[in-house]
């Protein structure tokens, strides 16, 4: 068996460049340029000299000359390149439609990346604000309040109700936050590293119930799986085969379990609409729309329309969530800091009276 010469995990920027280069290669192949020559042209014209993507292209070219297929070379980069993309490329090689497959893959990657960036942006801002808020509150309550507490106690003044509440909360948090962090760390370690299937599935399923973000997470997953269905239909590949390749890299046990239900139904001869009806991966509208596509013989067109529709909803919702959290976070932080500040300044007036 022939050995692949060069192996390296690609960085995110290099992966993006790789798929863009694949799109250019697909265009050349569609113009009847030989495969090896097409990769060579893209390598020389579009890729930087010391770029890892260029080295991958050089490996592809060298292996093509040795008779090693493109898909076989890319299988050594499964940690960087999605397995279902490689599966599509292998299918294209076998039925002489490689240019079509490369174009479909590059278009799918571009659309998927755009949605992923918007989705992460919607999650990142609340996470950043949440972390900053918690850090600020902990710093004030654990680091600042105790200093004033000692001063107030030593002066034996009567404290306002608000100040007493804040001081008691400070004492509670100082004795509790260390054990809380340890508990969170232990639970996270168990879920992420030991990957307990039932617990993993339970937690991922509960993500849909998170206020504001739950529906967005559902839409993003629905959009992603709808794209896989569309890829399979456009490529004339059995849907269950591509879904199996897609689910191999998933850490989300809930979605993997739901996909296995779909695959089992498809293998048993049920229609796509019937298979997805047994799962919680699609909304009622999506199930109905896919069913209409199957009955009318326009499944591919309906999947494309559904994807565009869901994409528009995700973009709108991410913008709304971003604006809502941007406004509420500022107000919430101002309220919390204001309450703590007032609780500190109120006894100061009593101290001033004592001094007088």
**Mind listing the pLDDT tens digit for each residue in 248-280?**
878 778 888 899 999 999 999 999 999 999 898
Cα distance between residue 189 and residue 76, in whole Å:
29
Quick one: 235 and 302 in the same domain?
yes
Quick one: 77 and 192 in the same domain?
no
Positive or negative, the CA dihedral 339, 343, 348, 350 is: positive
Quick one: 74 and 108 in the same domain?
no
Quick one: 69 and 165 in the same domain?
no
User: What region does 209 belong to: left with phi over 0, alpha with psi -120 to 50, or beta?
Assistant: alpha
Quick one: 292 and 259 in the same domain?
yes
Quick one: 20 and 145 in the same domain?
no
Distances (CA, A) of 257 to 41, 85, 250: 43, 21, 11
Q: What's 324's domain CATH number?
A: 1.20.81.30
Cα distance between residue 53 and residue 51, in whole Å:
5
Residue with tokens 């306002």: 160
> Are 277 and 218 spatial neighbours (Cβ–Cβ below 8 Å)?
no
| Residue that terminates a domain, selected from 81, 111, 128 | 81
Token pair recorded at residue 265: 């139904």
C-alpha 163: how far from its chain's center?
43
Quick one: 110 and 68 in the same domain?
no
Q: Which domain holds residue 22?
A: 12-81
Quick one: 71 and 199 in the same domain?
no
Cα distance between residue 356 and residue 95, in whole Å:
94
107: exposed, middle or buried (C-beta count within 10 Å: 0-12, 13-18, 19+)? middle
First to last CA, the chain: 94
Quick one: 256 and 324 in the same domain?
yes
Residue 5 is assigned to a structural domain of this protein:
no
Quick one: 126 and 43 in the same domain?
no
**Mind listing the pLDDT tens digit for each residue in 217-256?**
888 889 989 999 998 998 888 999 999 988 887 877 888 8
What's the total number of domains in the chain? 2
> Are 17 and 72 spatial neighbours (Cβ–Cβ below 8 Å)?
no
Per-residue confidence of the chain (356 residues) as pLDDT tens digits?
344 444 567 777 888 888 888 888 888 988 888 989 988 898 887 666 667 788 888 888 999 999 999 888 888 887 788 888 888 898 888 888 888 888 888 888 888 888 888 777 777 776 777 777 777 777 777 777 777 777 777 777 777 888 888 888 777 777 666 676 777 677 666 656 555 555 555 556 666 667 767 788 888 889 989 999 998 998 888 999 999 988 887 877 888 889 999 999 999 999 999 999 989 899 999 999 999 999 999 999 999 999 999 989 988 888 888 778 778 877 887 888 888 888 888 877 767 766 65
Quick one: 189 and 48 in the same domain?
no
Token pair recorded at residue 212: 């504001």
């Amino acid at each position: 068996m022939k050995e692949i010469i060069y192996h390296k995990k690609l960085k995110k920027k290099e992966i993006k460049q790789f798929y863009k280069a694949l799109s250019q290669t697909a265009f050349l192949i569609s113009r009847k340029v030989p495969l090896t020559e097409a990769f060579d042209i893209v390598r020389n014209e579009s890729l930087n000299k010391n770029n890892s993507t260029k080295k991958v292209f050089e490996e592809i070219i060298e292996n093509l000359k040795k008779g090693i297929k493109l898909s076989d070379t890319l299988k050594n980069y499964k940690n960087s390149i999605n397995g279902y993309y490689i599966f599509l490329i292998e299918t294209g090689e076998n039925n002489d439609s490689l240019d079509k497959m490369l174009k479909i893959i590059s278009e799918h990657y571009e659309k998927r990346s755009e949605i992923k960036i918007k989705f992460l942006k919607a999650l990142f801002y609340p996470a950043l604000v949440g972390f900053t808020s918690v850090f600020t509150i902990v710093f004030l309550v654990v680091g600042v309040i105790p200093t004033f507490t000692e001063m107030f106690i030593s002066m034996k003044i009567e404290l306002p109700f608000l100040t007493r509440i804040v001081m008691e909360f400070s004492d509670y948090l100082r004795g509790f936050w260390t054990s809380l962090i340890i508990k969170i760390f232990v639970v996270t370690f168990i879920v992420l590293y030991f990957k307990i299937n039932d617990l993993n599935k339970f937690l991922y399923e509960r993500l849909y119930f998170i206020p504001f973000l739950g529906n967005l997470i559902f839409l993003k997953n629905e959009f992603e799986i709808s794209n896989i269905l569309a890829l399979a239909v456009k490529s004339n590949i059995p849907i269950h085969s591509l879904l199996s390749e897609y689910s191999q890299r998933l850490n989300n046990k809930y979605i993997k379990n739901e996909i296995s239900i779909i695959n089992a139904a498809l293998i048993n001869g049920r229609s796509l609409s019937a298979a997805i009806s047994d799962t919680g991966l699609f909304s009622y509208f999506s199930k109905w729309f896919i069913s209409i596509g199957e009955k009318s013989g326009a499944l591919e067109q309906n999947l494309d329309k559904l994807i565009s529709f869901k994409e528009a909803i995700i973009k709108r919702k991410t913008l709304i969530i971003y604006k809502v959290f941007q406004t509420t976070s500022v107000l919430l932080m101002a309220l919390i800091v204001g309450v703590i500040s007032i609780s500190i300044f109120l006894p100061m007036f009593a101290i001033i009276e004592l001094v007088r």
